[in-house]
Structure 1
C-alpha cells in the first residue's frame, strides 16, 4: 500500500499530494524528485498525509508520484535548469514587449529533464497568457507553459468551465493544465 507525501515544488511554490512507495522513508525538508503533469521537478518533502478517521471522507488518490530522494546528478541537472532559466529571462522579457503583451514576467522554470519551460507572469488569467503561449509556439520555441500568478499565488481556472482540465497555466496553442 502506498503512502501519500505532501511536497512543496516549483519556483513559485505549490503544495500537492504525491504517491510514494510504502517503504519510502523521507525526512521533513528532504529534497525529492517528483513527477507532475509538467514532468519531473524537484520538491521538498513536508509531511506524510495522515489517513482520515472518517472512512467516507477518503480523498482521491494523488495523480502524481514522489519518485526518489535527489541524487547528485539530479542536483547538477537542477542547477543547469536554473542557469538556463536565468540566461533566458531578458530575452523573454524582450519578446513579451515586442509582441505587445500586457504581461510582466516574474520567473522562469524548466522541468528537471528540460522538456518543458514554464513562464510565470504577473497577470490574471486572460487572453495575453494564451497569446504568449501561441506566439511562442509559432516562433518555434516548442512547448512553453504560461502560468499566471497573482498577489495570492498561482491563478487557476474555475472548475466549472474554461479550457484545459481545471487548473494550471496556459500552454502551447491554448490553455493547458499546468
Structure 2
C-alpha cells in the first residue's frame, strides 16, 4: 500500500513539474475563505482567459520546484495555496486574480513565477496592470491606422485638386 501511495505522489510531482516547465506564468494565491459560488466564478473567469487553475499539496509543489531548480517560491507555499497557470499570456493569471481579489477580499495574491523568474507580490501586482495581448495588439494596430488614414485623406485631397484643376 505504501508503494502505491508513493507512486501516486511521484506521478503528481511529475504532473506539477511538467506544468511549471511549460508555463509562461504561474501565480500563487491564498483562496481560503472563498465560498463555492465565488470559487466557481473565479474558475470560470480564469478558464475564459485561458488560464488553468489548480490546487496541489504544497509539499508536492515544493518537490516539483526543486526538481526543476526553482528557488524562492517555497516560502509562499504555506497554507491553502492555489496556482493559476498560463501557457500563452504571462499577464493573464495575475490580471484575472487581481481583478477578482478587488471584489473578493478573501482571495490574496502571494507570489508568482513568470518565465522562470520568481515574482514577489509587488511584481505580480505590476504584472496584473499590463493589458492583455489582445488589447496591446489593438492599440498597436490603432496607432498604425491613424497615420495611414491621414495619408489616404491627403492623397485623396491631392487627387481631387488635380481633377478640379484639369476640369477648369
TM-score by length of 2: 0.31
The answer to which structure has the higher helix fraction is: 2
Q: Which has the higher contact order (CA 8 A, sep 6+)?
A: 2
Computing the radius of gyration from Cα coordinates, the structure with the larger value is 2
The answer to which structure has the higher strand fraction is: 1
